Amino acid sequence: MNSPVFDPMQAQIDALASEAPVPASRLVPDWLRSRFREPPSWSPEFSSDLAWDVSSRPLVPAAVLVPLVVREEGLTLLLTLRTSHLHDHAGQISFPGGRVDPEDSDAIATALRETEEEIGLARRHIEVIGTLPEYQTGTGFSVTPVAALVHPPFDLAADEFEVAEIFEVPLAYLMNGENHERRSAVFPNRTERRSFYAMPFEQYFIWGATAAMLRNLYHFLRAD
């Protein structure tokens, strides 16, 4: 018997974050390099998704790339839409990335390798500028977000098994609290109501772990 399908777009909108945007002066390459080089004192809003029972299976180390594309009109964030048949996060919008392999030297190596495998983005275009705090997903992964500037021109080639679409969203849109929705719903096979962030953009619905990590980036960039 198949499990019920959860549609996050049907979840109740409880509130808009309505917080001030990150100043435009901070959404430029030089400022971002400086921020990650000398981070301020700050506290992440999120460290985990749904509770994970580590006694049943330890968390799996993973890493994702947070690819900030340097465009003339301003930075954009490159994201992927996962294919609908995948076991984890099927049909969701995600950063490129995946689980750590034994040959990976660190989380950065994982993020770069997975990005190249998933979307064909060559490493020569990627300038890693730092990492954000680990985030634990409800599917049992401990994810390190690796922030990077991506320098065009570059070619992309999606892994058709994992990636249905590759697209970009203006970073200024995502770093504006006015565009952050707080939603809640009762998930399939659970009794408690769960609250989560969503950041709808055009036909794309960004939510879950991706939205949580973006909220952490938002707080990191706003901190004084």
Scanning the structure block, which residue is given the tokens 């979840």?
11
**What SS3 string covers 126-160?**
EEEEEECCCEECCCCEEEEEEEEEECCCCCCCCCC
The predicted pLDDT at position 10 comes to 65
**Spans of all domains in the chain:** 26-48+57-169+209-222
Cβ pair 81, 91 in contact under 8 A: yes
The predicted pLDDT at position 41 comes to 96
Range with the lowest mean pLDDT among 2-6, 23-27, 197-201, 220-224?
2-6
Most confident of 13-17, 59-63, 138-142, 194-198: 59-63
Residue 39: pLDDT band with limits 50, 70, 90: very high
* pLDDT surpasses 70 at 102: yes
Q: How far apart are the first and last CA of the chain?
A: 52
**How buried is residue 70: exposed, middle or buried, by Cβ count under 10 Å (0-12/13-18/19+)?**
middle
Residue with more model confidence, 48 or 69:
69
* pLDDT surpasses 90 at 18: no
Which CATH architecture fits 26-48+57-169+209-222? Alpha-Beta Complex (3.90)
Provide the percentage of residues in the chain whose pLDDT is more than 90. Answer: 71
Backbone angles phi, psi at 180, to 5 degrees: -105, 115
Give this prediction's pTM. Answer: 0.89
Other residues' Cβ atoms within 10 Å of the Cβ of residue 200:
14
Range with the lowest mean pLDDT among 19-28, 69-78, 81-90?
81-90
| Tens-place pLDDT, residues 121-135 | 999 999 999 999 999
Cβ pair 157, 176 in contact under 8 A: no
Mean pLDDT value across residues 182-191: 70
Provide the percentage of residues in the chain whose pLDDT is more than 70. Answer: 86
